[in-house]
């Protein structure tokens, strides 16, 4: 799926920013945007086909239109390929630190103890993925091996590491989430897929020297970017979403 400005009802300004032309094209534009959002998912197996720098730059430029408090734009991105990406992989996998022993000492992504409804959703996600891979609930070594595929960026040709200045506050982290979503949606518009990966965060000590990341920056997450390998069973897995009735209140 490649979404073009001509077909989508968008026009491009002189600076390259897509804009809806008029009320008539809003319907068409909404369909294009909705398709990019709903077709986004975490792909866990990629083809080796390279993504050129021009495409990566275009995706990041569009994503940077994300809103941020007083336009601070708190994101910083390290784009890696080939040898540099492999050095990140080697630094993590050769560290001997298993995922269950990794230290979340910069920030904590998950609660110390899960509770409902989040526990059930988390389990459904894990069991669903392992099921399509044929991994049993007691096959711990196979589970670990699958988790470690994070650190090869699921074989994607492009791996990105995202950081934020530790002196910033929670509002900037909210802004960051919108920026990351923009990247993933912009990638879909170009026929590409992604996988956002918090798994990299506790390995910041291994990643820092490879990318020369300053101490004042916190590693937020990584992200794989590339073309989906549709032959792999893990890419058949689909997550569901809770119905609106469970989480929306129309206040009166």
Tens digit of pLDDT for each residue in 96-147?
998 888 999 999 999 999 999 999 999 999 999 999 999 999 999 999 999 9
**133-to-21, 39, 122, 222, 235 alpha-carbon distances in Å:** 45, 21, 17, 23, 10
The CA distance from 63 to 179, in Å, is: 6
Contact between 195 and 44 under an 8 Å Cβ cutoff? The reply is: yes
The CA distance from 62 to 226, in Å, is: 17
Indicate the average pLDDT of the chain: 92
Cβ contacts of 231 within 8 Å, gap of 6 or more: none
- Which part of the chain is CATH 3.40.109.10? 42-236
CATH of 42-236 among 3.40.50.300, 3.30.360.10, 3.40.109.10, 3.40.50.360? 3.40.109.10
Locate 250 and state its tokens: 């129309």
Tens digit of pLDDT for each residue in 28-62?
889 999 999 999 999 999 999 999 999 999 999 99
Q: What is the pLDDT at residue 99? A: 85
* pLDDT(20) > 60: no
| 3-class secondary-structure state, position 39 | coil
Locate 120 and state its tokens: 């059930």
Cβ contacts of 245 within 8 Å, gap of 6 or more: none
Locate 83 and state its tokens: 């040898």
Residues forming a β-bridge with 10 = 20
Cα first-last separation, the chain: 41
Q: What is the pLDDT at residue 29? A: 85
Tens digit of pLDDT for each residue in 210-224?
999 999 999 999 999
Averaged pLDDT for residues 200-206 = 98
Look at residues 42, 59, 63, 43 and name the one whose alpha carbon lies nearest to residue 51: 59
Contact between 66 and 175 under an 8 Å Cβ cutoff? The reply is: yes
Distance from chain centroid for Cα 77:
12
| Angle at the Cα of 180 from the Cα atoms of 52 and 118, rounded to 5 degrees | 135
């Amino acid at each position: 799926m490649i979404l073009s400005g001509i077909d989508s009802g968008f026009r491009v300004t002189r600076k390259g920013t897509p804009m809806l032309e008029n009320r008539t094209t809003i319907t068409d534009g909404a369909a294009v945007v909705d398709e990019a959002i709903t077709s986004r998912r975490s792909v866990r197996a990629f083809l080796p086909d390279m993504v050129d720098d021009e495409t990566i730059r275009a995706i990041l430029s569009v994503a940077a239109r994300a809103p941020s408090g007083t336009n601070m734009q708190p994101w910083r991105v390290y784009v890696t390929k080939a040898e540099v990406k492999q050095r990140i992989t080697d630094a993590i996998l050769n560290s001997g630190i298993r995922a269950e022993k990794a230290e979340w000492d910069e920030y904590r992504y998950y609660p110390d103890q899960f509770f409902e409804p989040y526990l059930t959703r988390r389990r459904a996600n894990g069991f669903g993925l392992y099921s399509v891979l044929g991994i049993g609930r007691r096959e711990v070594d196979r589970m670990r091996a699958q988790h470690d595929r994070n650190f090869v960026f699921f074989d994607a040709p492009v791996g990105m590491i995202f950081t934020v200045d530790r002196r910033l506050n929670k509002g900037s982290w909210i802004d960051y989430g919108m920026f990351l979503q923009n990247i993933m949606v912009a990638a879909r518009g170009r026929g590409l897929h992604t996988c956002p990966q918090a798994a990299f965060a506790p390995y910041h000590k291994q990643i820092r020297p490879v990318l020369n990341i300053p101490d004042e920056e916190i590693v937020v997450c990584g992200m794989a970017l590339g073309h989906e390998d549709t032959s792999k069973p893990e890419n058949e897995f689909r997550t569901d979403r809770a119905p609106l009735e469970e989480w929306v209140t129309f206040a009166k």
